[in-house]
Structure 1
Amino acid sequence: MLEVGCGRGAFTGRLVRRAKRVVAIEPDHQSFVIAQQQLGSSVQLRNIECSELSSSECFDTVCAFEVLEHIEHDRAALEDWIEHLRPGGHLVLSVPADSKRLGDWDEMVGHYRRYDRKEMKNLLEGVGLRVVDISQYNFPAGYFLETARNLIARRTLRKGAADKNFAERTAGSGRLFQPESSFTAAVMRLVSLPAIALQRAFPDRGLGLIAIAQLD
């Protein structure tokens, strides 16, 4: 597996349980250092952009969680990513859903856009992938979090965060909700249990979008 934009490695540790080999890349040095401390030698971590990967490196699965919305030219990024995907391999993405909900929080953390299902389907098919599944998640917690986040972002932007460029906002966003300690991670998992149970009771709803596509 290749994970593009692993941040501090919060999700990468789960990928290790599902793949014989995981390569994770993270261009933000501060997040990369934390990921190294968290993951040790279980993952091949690299402080690079995807464009710096060798063209000979190919994977069965390429993942990018909450990354694509931070990239101005998303189609070009996808084309770059799938260059490292073997025929028959899968691309797995998560992005914020519902373009009409683009708000202060999105601006603060460096989102160029949010995605609708049809838009995501067209984007994936446009780069030569076959869509396997597109579904929504983060119900109902996402709606409460969005309200709180937008309030926080509105105040933060007034204090000067709007002066940062998109690259600076993106780098900062990768540090916001990924814990630095295993204790904090355990507490966050415990607090999330009720929301996870509700999500399972009401599938395919919420403010996040998960897309799975295959390279035939």
Structure 2
Amino acid sequence: MSTYIGNELELFAKATNWKQYYAKYLRPHIKGHVLEVGAGIGGTTTVLCDQTQESWTCLEPDEYMAEQIELRVKDNIHSCSVIAGTIDDLPQNATFDTIMYIDVIEHIANDRDEILRATQRLKPQGKLIILVPAHQWLFSPFDKEIGHFRRYNKKMLRSIMPTSLKETSLFYLDSVGMFASIANKFILKQLYPTSDQIRFWDKTMLPISKIFDAIIFYTMGKSLIGVWKKQ
């Protein structure tokens, strides 16, 4: 078991517009037997799992957080099970149609090995979904404080993918939010945003991002989303 060093999950759980925004792009790919790696406290689970999936497994190495997921989902997501551990703690024969890493890969020192292990757990034609913070030049004290090893651009994310995976889509989201990240790195230099700042970003800045992202064809943003299919 491991203990997660950040405490931002409860804070960002309030970013409901953001979660619904990226969920719109992920839901078409989430089918069958689903594995959510690094499920945290279940905030993403409750947004993405609509119970049309055959099963949903939350994998979380922090035992306390795994307990929080169970409390969050037990009464309203009956297809969901929780495992406290890493991908190596799954049953040996367990495979999945969809494997997701939502704001997780950046916390893993050897990201390439992690993706390889995940690929071995994917069924043929299965989907690997990844959402990560974008642009290493935006790496800030906040990233360091919550245990990020890196941020990603498209080239970096593509470089860790095994040849057995074919890229389906790769694009940036939240172009306006990127400027908030720039402001924090170079001006505010905060270890954590405040609740008011999260609320302003989610309620005021994000609706503008939704418009601008489409105008610039999703070529810029503070987050990067990728989907790959196993051949």
TM-score by length of 2: 0.71
| Aligned-residue offset at 1:145 | 4.4
**Which of the residues 24, 33, 40 maps onto 1:7?**
40
Question: Which residue number corresponds to residue 23 of structure 2?
Answer: none
2:151 maps to 1:114? yes
1:168 match: none
Please report how far the alpha carbon of residue 82 of structure 1 lies from its aligned counterpart in structure 2 after TM superposition. 1.4
Q: Which runs of 5+ in 1 are unaligned?
A: 157-172, 180-186
Count of matched residue pairs: 189
Shift of 1:112: 0.9
Residue 155 of structure 1: how far off its partner (Å): 5.6
Unaligned stretches of 5+ in structure 2? 1-33
- Secondary structure of 1:57's counterpart equals coil
Determine which of 59, 64, 67 is the counterpart of 1:30. 64
Q: 2:85 corresponds to which residue?
A: 48
User: After superposition, where does 1:46-195 map in structure 2 within 5 Å?
Assistant: 46-124=83-161, 126=162, 128-145=164-181, 147-148=183-184, 154=189, 156=191, 193=207, 195=209
TM-score using structure 1 length: 0.75
8 Å contact from structure 1 (residues 105, 150) kept in 2: no
The answer (yes or no) to whether the contact 1:61–1:90 under 8 Å persists in 2 is yes
Rounded Cα–Cα distance in structure 2 between residues aligned with 1:28 and 1:62:
19
3-state SS, counterpart of residue 11 of structure 1: helix
CA distance, structure 2, for counterparts of residue 47 and residue 103 of structure 1? 30
Which aligned runs of 4 or more in structure 1 are off by greater than 3 angstroms?
Answer: 148-152, 187-203
Distance 1:148 1:13, change over 3 A: same
User: Equivalents in 1 of 2:62, 2:185: separation in Å?
Assistant: 23
State how far apart, in whole Å, the 2-side matches of 1:45 and 1:119 are.
30
Cα distance, 1:146–1:188 mapped onto 2, change above 3 Å: closer
For the 8 Å contact 1:61–1:89, the answer to whether it is kept is: yes
Moved more, 90-99 or 198-207: 198-207
Query: 1:24 deviation in Å?
Result: 0.8
- Residue 132 of structure 1: SS of its match in structure 2? strand
In structure 2, what is the equivalent of residue 21 of structure 1?
A: 55
1:215 aligns with 2:230: yes
CA-based RMSD of the aligned residues comes to 2.9
Q: Which protein has the bigger helix share?
A: 1
Distance 1:144 1:104 in 2: 14
Greater CA drift, 88-97 or 193-202: 193-202
Aligned partner of residue 140 in structure 1, secondary structure: helix
Whole-angstrom CA distance in 2 between matches of 1:31 and 1:149: 29
Q: CA deviation at 1:60?
A: 0.6
Deviation at 1:36, TM superposition (A): 1.7
Higher relative contact order (CA 8 A, sep 6+): 1
